Chains A and B, each alone.
Chain A
Amino acid sequence: MESAETNPLIAQFLIPLVYCAGALLYGLHFVRDDRLSGRAASLSLGLGALLHLAVLSPAGSGALQCPVTHEAGFLSLFALCVVVVYLILERQFRQRSMGMIMAPFAAFLYVISVLLDSAAGAGTQQAVLFRSAWFGVHILASLIAYAAFAFSAVSALMLILLERALSGARMGLIFSRFPDLDTLDRMTFRAITIGFPALTVGLVSGAVWALTDARQLGWATDPKTLAATLAWLVYAGFLLSRPWLGWQGVRSARTALFGFLLVLLTQAAVGPLLSGFHSFR
């Protein structure tokens, strides 16, 4: 990762530090539920995102190229997408309780990317291929989609937990700190309305790239492509079930979780384990 070479101190120490501080502050905010810790948490995560963007951007890395040539860059960009999507939704809903999970998740992704980056040398022979604009769009759109889906999964999980607490009239920490069920439902929905078009763009641009620039066969039957298409169908179902079936609340949340499970499958299992078209090696 070129960026790490140009700004090694920022990339390897400052950004993880700021992200981790943000994660801790969101945890503190969840427990204490006060304005100060909430603002500090948002500020910290926002600052981390700015630094991260500066490091990843063409200007920061000093070269016009997509930063994603191996797993480390991929994870780093994903972390940024998670943070940015989260911050946008946080502002929109004025709701910080999701940060307790999203911020540590982003910090974790980033730290892993730094560790992987230092373990592996940057750049492979395939890097040439990756300079294509279609590929850039494919990667960015997919990562934004995954970040949005991650957010929707967290809010869906929170919804299910809160729903259980509500059904049993249990008034513990979940009841006092989670946003209300309606807000969680709308947040899940909103996140998926961001993720779904992004995934659509990701799938289409990926196909176009494979057909035009890469000129490789087998992309259509690649397990990752298939899993992503399946996820796309599930999320399409999620969006349609609302007006058609009146699904709201728990049923919607379960669908969102199922969709994210497929997303995880595309990432965690299919990517590294199976050698297919999407393998970095």
Chain B
Amino acid sequence: MRLHLLGLNHRSTPVEIREKVAFDHAAVLRAGNALAEAGAGERVILSTCNRAEIYAAWPGSVEEGREAAERFLADFHGIDRALLRKHAYHEVGTGAVTHLLRVASSLDSQIIGESEILRQVREAHETAREAGWTGPFFNRLFATAIETGKRVRTETAIGQSTTSVAFAAVQLARKLFGKFHHRTALVIGAGEMAEQVARYLIDGKVSHLIVANRSREHAVELLAALPSRPGGVIGLDELEDALVDADLVTTSTAATEPVLSASLVRRAMRRRKNRPLFIVDIAVPRDVDPAVSELYNTYLYHIDDLKQVVRAGEARRRAEAVVAETLIKGEVCAFARWVEERAVVPAIATLRRRGHQVAEQEVERVLRRLGDQLSSGDQQLIRHLGDAIVAKLLHQPTVRLKEAAANGHAGDHVEALRYLFALDEGPEGHLNGRLTPSAKAGAEDPCREHRARRIS
């Protein structure tokens, strides 16, 4: 089995396709089970508004694994495989590990340095672990990713010009309205993203805050968690009236149909006498009909538009990203070393077991033939001799293997050992031996420098 990653993100894929391959929580649970039926081993599904990625162990060759992953994703969402192949990216082994660590460190985010993604990676792993889809390999992999994400945040200045999608939204609104103190904010959807946006708006001193949600309880909870502002909670059926009063609207519901249709917004605009209306749609699939942006004095931004907003602090964050890449490289190598070290111990144990088995068989054969002529002391001696020869013979290989593991290149030796001594592959196959090098053309071994440093 090999570690494969198949994914689509904001760079590789336009939102129209991305929203088709997004997994909500229920879909993640279904997909996890479907993956097992499709033959995958350990697996984690990471689905955010900017990406949908499947990390899974697939049997067979690199190409077979890729085929299986693509077939699964296309069938699950009912989309064309050719289309998927055009937009999806695929990685194996170290390439997949590097990708995950970059994602967790927000280097692959639309807004480099945003903190949301780290939480999303943690939650994706949590979900998979609770469902029993992960084993020691994936648990270690995701723990490494989360640890790396934290290190990047604390050891570099990447998160200092804090820019999340929510912050970007507020910046745009600021350019439209200036001060917010006579403005009413309407937050549609009571998820975490909605809370983040609401917090920024309250920091910006909006005078009124309305929360609209399908479930009133969640909306009340959100409102209670925020600094108090006049306003209140409404249901999704009262949106038109709310739009007449509200100037800043954010939507982040998980609804599959648009929550704000063009005709609804048009009616509301007429009633509010065309005063400018600012709408940010953070949801995938979209909450607001794109035709709304054609309406006079209506400013509609989808999550894809928001990346532009943060260009300001980007140069600095890019510089920090270079530092982060080095840090990530180190973590990828440490993980690769762990995988190899982990493979060494069972390999040595199997080898020794095999050696002692052979010795025991041979000793028993000799003793059966000579048993009567030997004293019990001599028999003991011969038994000991067999074990001693095996131990002596295997001592040097054991030491060398452990050294190689510590230096991060035990993979080749373990493979050679398993081949030469015809040892079985073990249940997890490649996950338990050596990470497949990245399949990407021109991809370098990320650990070469590290190895060279350790050896010298």
Most buried by A among B276, B305, B306: B276
Instruction: Identify the stretch in A59-67, A125-133, A171-179 within 8 Å (CB) of chain B at 4 or more residues.
Output: A171-179
Min CB distance, B440 to chain A, in Å?
Answer: 31
Given A171-B310, A171-B312, A248-B275, 10 other A-B residues pairs in contact with their CB atoms under 8 A: A162-B175, A167-B299, A169-B172, A169-B308, A171-B308, A171-B311, A180-B174, A180-B178, A181-B177, A245-B274
Most buried by B among A171, A249, A251: A171
Query: Once bound together, how far apart are the Cα atoms of A179 and B174, in whole Å?
Result: 10
Contact B175 A246 (CB under 8 A): no
Does B76 touch A at the CB level, under 8 Å? no
Min CB distance, B334 to chain A, in Å?
Answer: 38
Min CB distance, B286 to chain A, in Å?
Answer: 16
Of all chain A residues, which has the CB nearest B272? A246
Contact B309 A246 (CB under 8 A): no
Contact B299 A166 (CB under 8 A): yes
Q: Using an 8 Å CB-CB cutoff, how does the interface string of B397-421 with A read, 1 for contact, 0 for none?
A: 0000000000000000000000000
Query: Once bound together, how far apart are the Cα atoms of A171 and B309, in whole Å?
Result: 6
Residues on A facing B (Cβ under 8 Å):
162, 166-171, 175-176, 179-183, 245-251
Min CB distance, A84 to chain B, in Å?
Answer: 25
Min CB distance, A251 to chain B, in Å?
Answer: 7
Of all chain A residues, which has the CB nearest B269? A246
Min CB distance, A94 to chain B, in Å?
Answer: 11
Contact B274 A246 (CB under 8 A): yes
Q: Which of A170, A180, A248, A249 contacts B308 (CB 8 A)?
A: A170
Chain A residues in 8 Å Cβ range of B392: none
Chain A residues in 8 Å Cβ range of B178: 179-183
Min CB distance, B36 to chain A, in Å?
Answer: 42
Chain A residues in 8 Å Cβ range of B293: 167
Min CB distance, B370 to chain A, in Å?
Answer: 90
Min CB distance, B221 to chain A, in Å?
Answer: 32
Min CB distance, A237 to chain B, in Å?
Answer: 16
Query: Once bound together, how far apart are the Cα atoms of A183 and B312, in whole Å?
Result: 22
Chain B residues in 8 Å Cβ range of A162: 175
Does B137 touch A at the CB level, under 8 Å? no
- Indicate whether A169 sits within 8 Å of B175 (C-beta atoms), given known contacts A246-B275, A248-B274, A248-B276: no
Chain B residues in 8 Å Cβ range of A247: 274
Contact B297 A248 (CB under 8 A): yes
Query: Once bound together, how far apart are the Cα atoms of A167 and B298, in whole Å?
Result: 9
Contact B273 A166 (CB under 8 A): no
Q: What are 22 A-B contacts with C-beta separation under 8 Å?
A: A162-B175, A166-B299, A167-B293, A167-B299, A168-B308, A169-B306, A169-B308, A170-B308, A171-B309, A175-B175, A180-B174, A180-B178, A181-B175, A181-B177, A182-B178, A245-B274, A246-B273, A248-B274, A248-B297, A249-B297, A250-B297, A251-B296
Contact A166 B175 (CB under 8 A): yes
Contact-residue bracket for chain B: 20 to 34
Chain B residues in 8 Å Cβ range of A182: 176-178, 276
Chain A residues in 8 Å Cβ range of B297: 248-250
Query: Once bound together, how far apart are the Cα atoms of A162 and B175, in whole Å?
Result: 9
Contact A166 B309 (CB under 8 A): no
Query: Once bound together, how far apart are the Cα atoms of A249 and B299, in whole Å?
Result: 12
- Indicate whether A180 sits within 8 Å of B296 (C-beta atoms), given known contacts A169-B301, A247-B274: no
Of all chain A residues, which has the CB nearest B175? A180
Q: Using an 8 Å CB-CB cutoff, how does the interface string of B278-322 with A read, 1 for contact, 0 for none?
A: 000000000000000100110101000110111110000000000
Contact B312 A181 (CB under 8 A): no
Query: Once bound together, how far apart are the Cα atoms of A180 and B183, in whole Å?
Result: 15
Query: Once bound together, how far apart are the Cα atoms of A166 and B297, in whole Å?
Result: 11
Of all chain A residues, which has the CB nearest B177? A182
Contact B276 A181 (CB under 8 A): yes
Of all chain B residues, which has the CB nearest A251? B296
Query: Once bound together, how far apart are the Cα atoms of A171 and B306, in whole Å?
Result: 10
Query: Once bound together, how far apart are the Cα atoms of A171 and B312, in whole Å?
Result: 8
Chain A residues in 8 Å Cβ range of B172: 166, 169
The 4 closest A-B pairs by CB, nearest first: A246-B273, A180-B178, A169-B305, A246-B274
Chain B residues in 8 Å Cβ range of A251: 296
Min CB distance, A240 to chain B, in Å?
Answer: 14
Min CB distance, B184 to chain A, in Å?
Answer: 14
Min CB distance, B182 to chain A, in Å?
Answer: 10
Query: Once bound together, how far apart are the Cα atoms of A169 and B307, in whole Å?
Result: 9
Of all chain B residues, which has the CB nearest A178? B175
Min CB distance, B279 to chain A, in Å?
Answer: 12
Chain A residues in 8 Å Cβ range of B311: 171
- Indicate whether A166 sits within 8 Å of B308 (C-beta atoms), given known contacts A248-B276, A251-B296: no
Contact A180 B176 (CB under 8 A): yes
Query: Once bound together, how far apart are the Cα atoms of A170 and B175, in whole Å?
Result: 12
Of all chain B residues, which has the CB nearest A243? B273
Contact A176 B312 (CB under 8 A): yes
Chain A residues in 8 Å Cβ range of B301: 169
Of all chain A residues, which has the CB nearest B276? A249
Query: Once bound together, how far apart are the Cα atoms of A249 and B273, in whole Å?
Result: 12
Chain B residues in 8 Å Cβ range of A183: 178
Of all chain B residues, which has the CB nearest A165? B175
Query: Once bound together, how far apart are the Cα atoms of A79 and B177, in whole Å?
Result: 32
Min CB distance, B450 to chain A, in Å?
Answer: 39
Min CB distance, A159 to chain B, in Å?
Answer: 11
- Indicate whether A181 sits within 8 Å of B176 (C-beta atoms), given known contacts A170-B308, A248-B275: yes
Query: Once bound together, how far apart are the Cα atoms of A172 and B170, in whole Å?
Result: 17
Of all chain A residues, which has the CB nearest B301? A169
Of all chain B residues, which has the CB nearest A246? B273
Query: Once bound together, how far apart are the Cα atoms of A182 and B180, in whole Å?
Result: 11
Min CB distance, B165 to chain A, in Å?
Answer: 12
Contact B176 A166 (CB under 8 A): yes
Min CB distance, A163 to chain B, in Å?
Answer: 9
Of all chain B residues, which has the CB nearest A242? B273
Query: Once bound together, how far apart are the Cα atoms of A169 and B275, in whole Å?
Result: 20
